[in-house]
Amino acid sequence: MNQSAIKNGKMTPKEIAAHYEAKVFESPEAAKVAGFVLTETESPRNVWNKASAAQAIVIKLAEKRAAGIAREIGLIIEPWSVTGCYLPDAPEPAAA
C-alpha cells in the first residue's frame, strides 16, 4: 500500500496497522497483558472515521517509536473504537 491509499481512506484500520508495523489487539486487556501501555482512544461514528482515527493514532505512536520511547507500537481495534498502545523501550516501574 502507498501513501495515496492512506490519504484516500481506502485502507482499513488493520491495513494501516500493518503499514506502520504495529501489532493489532482485540481488547485493551490483551494489550496490557502483553506489556503495552494504552494511549488515546477514539470512538468514531462510521468506518471511514475509524480508519482516519486509526491513522492519526498510529502516526503519533510511530513518532514515539522513532524517538526511542516505544520499542513496539500497536492498535486495539474494537467494533466501535480504536485505541493506541506501545511497549515502552524501558520497562515501566511497578506501581506501589
pTM: 0.82
What's the pLDDT at 73? Answer: 99
Render pLDDT for 27-61 as a digit per residue (tens, 0 to 9): 999 999 999 999 999 999 887 799 999 999 999 99
- Per-residue confidence at 1, pLDDT binned at 50, 70, 90? very low
Question: Residues 6 or more apart from 85 whose CB is under 8 A from it?
Answer: 25, 28, 31, 36, 37, 38, 39, 61, 73, 74, 75, 76
Domain boundaries, the chain: 12-21+38-69
DSSP three-state, residue 12:
coil
User: Mean pLDDT over residues 79-91, rounded?
Assistant: 92
Check pLDDT > 70 for residue 9. no
Nearest to 13 by CA among 86, 95, 23: 23
